[in-house]
Structure 1
Amino acid sequence: MSDKSILSASRISLATSAAMLVVLAAPANAGEEILYNMPPTWVEAASLSDVDLENDPSALIYDWQHRLENGVVSQYFDVAIRIDNPDLLMQHGTISLDWLPDKGDLTVHKVEILRDDESIDVISTGAEFEVIRREQGLEQRLLDGQLTATLAVPGLQVGDILRVTHSKTIDDQALGDGMQASQYLIQEPWQVGFSRAIFSWPENAEIYWRAEEEAIIQPPIVENGYRKMTVDLPIEKFKEMPGDAPSRFNRDPILRVGSYRDWQDLSRSFAPHYAEAAQVADDSEVAAKAAAIMAQTTDPLERAALALRLVQDEVSYLLNGLDGGNYMPQSASDTWEKRYGDCKAKSVLLFSLLSRMGIDAVPVLVVTGGGDALPELLPIPGVFNHMIVRATIDGTHYWLDGTSTATRLSNIAQVPAFYHALPLTAAGADLVPMTQRRQTSPDVSMDLTSDYSAGIDFPALFTLKVKIYGTQGAGLRAAADEANDERLKQLGKNFASGQGSAVTSVSLSYDDEEAVGIVEVEGITTSDFAWSEGRMRMSGDQTQSFSFNPDRARSEWRGIPVQTPGPQYNRMQIGLILPEGLDGFENTGPAEFEDGFANTSLKTKTVFDGNRMLSTVDIWQDLGEVSAADIPEQKRKVRKINAINAELIAPEDFAWRWEIEPKELARRAAPLLAAYDDAVDFADEDDWGPLTQRASFRAQVFDWEGTLKDLGTLIENQPSAYLHSWRAAVHEALGNRDMAIVDARAAYDLDPSSAYAFNLAEMMAYGGQRDEALALLETVPVSDEEEGSYASTYATVAGLAGRTDDALAILSEQVLAKPTNASVLNADCWFRGLFNVQPEGALASCTKAIERASNSAPMLDSRAMVSYRMGDYDAALKDLDSALELAPALSASLYLRGIVRLEQGDKDGRTDVERALRMAPELAERYAAHGVAPKK
Structure 2
Amino acid sequence: MANSTPRIAPAGDWVETVAIPDPNPALADRPFQALLIASQSRYEAHRHEHHSEMAVLIQNSQGLQALGNISLPWQPDHVELIIHKVHILRRGTVIDLLAEGHEFTVLRRENNLESAMLDGVLTAMMQAEGLTVGDVLHVAFTLRRHPGALPLRGENAFAMAHGAPVRRFHVRQIWGPDIDIRWRATGMMEQARTRRTRHGTELVLDLMDAEGDQPPDQAPTRFMLPALLQVSGYRDWAEISSQLAPHYARAAELSPNSRLRPEIERIAAASEDPAARAMAALRLVQDEVRYFAVTLGDGNYLPATADQTWIRRYGDCKGKTAVLLALLHGLGIEADAVLVNTITGDGMDERLPQMILFNHVIVRARIGDATYWLDGTRSGDRDLHDLASAPYAWGLPLSEAGAELQAIAYAPPRLALVETNITYDASQGFDDLTPTRFEMLFRGDSATAMRAALSQIGREAFLRHYRENEGDLPGQDVEIVSVDLRDDEEAGSFTVIVEARARLTFRPAPGALSRRYRFGNDTISWTVNLDRREGPWRDAPFTFAIPDHLAGTETMILPNDGRGYSIDGESFDRIVAGVRIARRIELAGGRAVARSTFQRIAREVSASQARADLAEIERIRNDAAYLRAPISVGARPSAPARVEPDASAERLVDAGYEKMGAGRTEAALADFDQAIRQQPDWARPHANRGIALIHLNRLDEAERALTTAQRLNDEDFVVHQGLGFLNLRRDQPEAAIPSLTRSLELDPGNMFTTGLRIDSREQLGQLDEALADIDVMLREEPRHAYALSRRARILAHQDRRDEALEAIDAALASDPGNFMFAITKGDLLVRFGRTEEAARAYDAALGMMGVLAEASGGEAPVDHARMLALMGRTDEALAAADAHLRRYAGAVRMLAMRCWIRAWANLAIERALRDCNEALEAEPDHEEASSARALVHLRLRRWSAAIRDFDTLLRYQPYAAHAYYGRALARAESGDADGAARDFATARRHAFDIDALFVRIGLAHAADQDPADQGTIVTNR
* TM-score computed with the length of structure 2 as normaliser: 0.65
For the pair 1:321 / 2:306, whether they are aligned, the reply is no
- 1:200·1:227 contact (CA, 8 Å) conserved in 2? yes
Q: Is this contact kept in 2: 1:78–1:166, CA < 8 A?
A: yes
Partner residue of 1:89? 64
- Matched with 2:393 is 419
TM-superposed CA distance for 1:819, in Å, is: 7.0
Is 2:556 the counterpart of 1:576?
Answer: yes
Task: State whether residues 733 and 764 of structure 2, in contact with CA within 8 Å, keep that contact through their aligned partners in structure 1.
Answer: no
Whether 1:396 aligns to 2:370 is: yes
Partner of 2:279: 305
Which amino acid is the alignment partner of residue 465 of structure 2?
A: Q
**Distance between the aligned counterparts of 1:790 and 1:596, measured in 2?**
45
Residue 461 of structure 1 and its aligned partner are, at CA, apart by: 3.9
- Partner AA of 1:596 in structure 2: I
Q: Distance in 2 between matches of 1:138 and 1:916?
A: 81
- Sort the Cα spacing of 1:356 and 1:89 in 2 relative to 1 into closer, same or farther, 3 A: same
> Who is 1:444 aligned against?
418
Seq. identity, %: 26
Residues 105/574 of structure 1: CA separation in 2 closer, same or farther (3 Å cut): same
Q: Which amino acid aligns with 1:182?
A: A
* 1:179 partnered with 2:154: yes
The one of 347, 358, 374 equivalent to 2:332 is 358
Shift of 1:151: 1.3
Match of 2:505 in 1: 527
Equivalent position amino acid for 2:126 in 1: L
Cα displacement string for residues 636-667 of structure 1 (whole angstroms, at most 9, x for unaligned residues): 9x47984998855647x5314436xxxxxxxx
Rounded to whole Å, the distance in 1 between the matches of 2:701 and 2:527 is: 55
The AA in structure 2 aligned to 1:271 is A
1:337-352 counterparts in 2 under 5 A? 337-352=311-326
Hey, what's the Cα distance between the residues in 1 that align with 2:202 and 2:239? 24
1 CA distance for matches of 2:761 and 2:107?
A: 90
Alpha-carbon spacing, 1:449–1:181, altered in 2? closer, same or farther (3 Å):
same
1:609 is the counterpart of 2:588: yes
- 1:596 is aligned to 2:579: no
Deviation, structure 1 residue 898:
9.5
CA distance in 1, matches of 2:892, 2:239: 86
What is the CA distance between 1:546 and its match in structure 2? 5.5
Look up the equivalent residue of 1:209 and give its one-letter code: W
Partner of 1:545: 525
- Identify the residue that residue 146 of structure 1 maps to in structure 2: 121
How far apart are residue 343 of structure 1 and its match? 0.9
Give 1:313 shift.
Answer: 0.8
**Shift of the alpha carbon at 1:569?**
3.7
State the 1:152 CA deviation.
1.6
- Look up the match of 1:517: 494
Tell me, yes or no, if the aligned pair for 2:515 and 2:633 is still in contact at 8 Å.
Answer: no
Q: Residues 203 and 458 (structure 1 numbering): CA distance in 2 closer, same or farther, change over 3 Å?
A: farther
Correspondence for 1:248 among 212, 222, 225: 222
Within 5 Å, give how 1:887-898 maps onto structure 2: none
Checking the alignment, whether the CA contact within 8 Å between 2:635 and 2:856 is kept in structure 1 is no
Aligned to 1:927: 925
Aligned residue in 2 for 1:105: 80
1:456-496 Cα distance to aligned partner (Å, 9 max, x none): 79865432323222222222234456654543242355573
CA spacing shift, 1:881–1:471, aligned 2, 3 Å: same
Q: Which runs of 5+ in 2 are unaligned?
A: 743-759, 778-783, 791-818, 826-844, 846-851, 895-918, 937-1021
Provide closer, same or farther for how the CA distance between residues 380 and 724 of structure 1 changes in structure 2, counting only shifts above 3 A. closer
CA distance in 2, matches of 1:823, 1:916: 38
Query: Is 1:76–2:51 an aligned residue pair?
Result: yes
In 2, Cα distance between equivalents of 1:643 and 1:747:
31
| d(CA) in 2 for partners of 1:61, 1:332 | 47
Q: Which residue of 1 aligns with 2:178?
A: 204
What's the counterpart of residue 104 of structure 2?
129
Contact 2:181 2:233 in 1 (8 A): yes
> How far off its partner does 1:402 sit?
0.4
| 1:515 CA drift (Å) | 0.6
Q: Find the aligned partners of 1:511 and 1:430 in 2 and give their Cα distance.
A: 40
Q: Match of 2:17, SS?
A: coil
Larger Rg: 2
Moved more, 391-400 or 403-412: 403-412
Q: What secondary structure, in the 3-state scheme, does the structure 2 residue paired with 1:473 have? A: helix
Give the Å deviation of 1:620.
3.5
Given the alignment of the two structures, is residue 32 of structure 1 paired with residue 4 of structure 2, yes or no?
yes
Change (3 A) 1:322 1:894: same
Q: SS state of the match for residue 322, structure 2? A: helix
The answer (yes or no) to whether the contact 1:186–1:233 under 8 Å persists in 2 is no
Q: 2:402 aligns with which of 416, 428, 440?
A: 428
Unaligned runs of 5+ in 1: 1-28, 660-695, 701-709, 797-810, 825-841, 862-876
Counterpart residue type for residue 521 of structure 1: V
Q: In structure 2, what is the Cα distance between the partners aligned to 1:249 and 1:113?
A: 37
Any idea what SS the aligned residue of 1:293 has?
helix
* Alpha-carbon separation, structure 2, partners of 1:726 and 1:445: 31
Q: In 2 relative to 1, CA 173–590 (structure 1 residues): closer, same or farther, beyond 3 Å? A: same
CA spacing shift, 1:528–1:144, aligned 2, 3 Å: farther
Cα deviations by residue, 1:747-785 (Å, 9 ceiling, x for unpaired): 87666675798799999999xxx9xx9999799956467
Compute the displacement of 1:364 (Å): 0.8
CA distance in 2 between partners of 1:296 and 1:603 (Å)? 39
CA offset digits 1:254-301 (Å, max 9, x no partner): 322222111111111111222222222121212232222223222222
Cα pair distance change 1:30/1:257, threshold 3 Å = farther
Q: Read off the aligned partner of 2:504 and give its amino acid letter.
A: T
Counterpart of 1:698, as a letter, is: A
> 2 CA distance for matches of 1:404 and 1:39?
45
The match for 2:1006 is none
Q: 1:497 aligns with which of 456, 461, 472?
A: 472
Tell which deviates more after alignment, 69-78 or 418-427: 69-78
Greater mean alpha carbon deviation, residues 114-123 or residues 273-282: 114-123
Name the residue aligned to 2:438: 464
SS at match of 1:402: coil
Specify the alignment match of 1:41 in structure 2. 13
Residue type of the alignment partner of 1:110: K
Which position in structure 1 is the counterpart of 2:249?
A: 275
Residues 882 and 148 of structure 1, relative CA distance in 2, 3 Å threshold: farther
**Structure 1 CA distance for aligned equivalents of residues 672 and 353 of structure 2:** 77
The match for 2:355 among 381, 385, 404 is 381
Bigger CA drift: 578-587 or 504-513? 578-587
2:639 pairs with one of 663, 683, 698: 698
- What secondary structure sits across from 2:639 in the alignment? helix
Task: Tell me the CA shift for residue 234 of structure 1.
Answer: 5.1
Residues 740 and 763, structure 1, Cα contact 8 Å, conserved in 2: no
Task: Report the Cα distance in structure 1 between the residues aligned to 2:689 and 2:607, rounded to whole angstroms.
Answer: 59
Give 2:485's match in structure 1, choosing from 508, 516, 535.
Answer: 508
Distance 2:673 2:216 in 1: 57
Counterpart contact for 2:687–2:706, Cα < 8 Å: no
| CA-atom RMSD in angstroms | 5.6
> By how many angstroms is 1:394 displaced?
1.8
- Does structure 2 retain, via aligned residues, the 8 Å contact 1:565–1:621? no
Partner Cα separation in structure 1 for residue 549 and residue 39 of structure 2? 47
Q: Which amino acid aligns with 1:927?
A: D
- Per the alignment, residue 17 of structure 1 pairs with none
Native 8 Å contact 2:417 2:446 kept in 1: yes
Alignment partners' CA distance in 1, 2:921 and 2:198: 103
Partner SS state of residue 216, structure 1: helix
Q: Deviations over 1:178-200 (max 9, x none)?
A: 332222245698241x3301111
Give the direction of change, closer, same or farther, for the CA distance of 1:85–1:204 in structure 2 (3 Å limit).
same
* Alignment partner, residue 988 of structure 2: none
Q: Distance in 1 between matches of 2:582 and 2:92?
A: 77
Aligned counterparts of 2:208 and 2:242: Cα–Cα separation in 1: 37
1:530 shift after superposition: 4.3
Q: CA deviation at 1:613?
A: 3.5
2:631 aligned with 1:654: yes
